[in-house]
Amino acid sequence: MPGRVLVTGGAGFIGTHVADALLARGVEVRVLDSLIGQVHDDGDRPDYLSDHVELVRGDVRDADVVERALAGVDRVVHLAARVGVGQSMYEIAEYTSVNAVGTAVLLEALLRHPVRALVVASSMSIYGEGQYVDAEGAPAAAPERTRAQLAAGEWDPVSTAGASLTAVPTREVKVPALSSVYALGKYDQERLCLMFGSAYDVPTTALRFFNVYGPHQALSNPYTGVLAIFAARLLNDRRPMVFEDGEQQRDFVSVHDVAEACCLALDAPAAGRAINIGSGRSITVNEIATRLARQLGCEHLEPELTGKFRVGDIRHCFADIGVAQDLLGYRPRWSMDDGLAEMTSWLSGKTPRDGVEAATLELAVRGLTV
Which residues are marked as active site? 182
- How far is the C-alpha of 317 from the C-alpha of 130, rounded, in Å? 4
- How far is the C-alpha of 251 from the C-alpha of 167, rounded, in Å? 12
Asked whether the beta carbons of 156 and 309 are under 8 A apart, the reply is no
Please name the residues in contact with 312: beta carbons below 8 A apart, sequence gap of 6 or more: 85, 86, 88, 89, 179, 180, 181, 182, 183, 368
Distance, CA of 6 to chain centre: 19
Asked whether the beta carbons of 156 and 113 are under 8 A apart, the reply is no
Asked whether the beta carbons of 277 and 257 are under 8 A apart, the reply is yes
- How far is the C-alpha of 304 from the C-alpha of 295, rounded, in Å? 18
Name the helix (H) or strand (E) containing 153: none
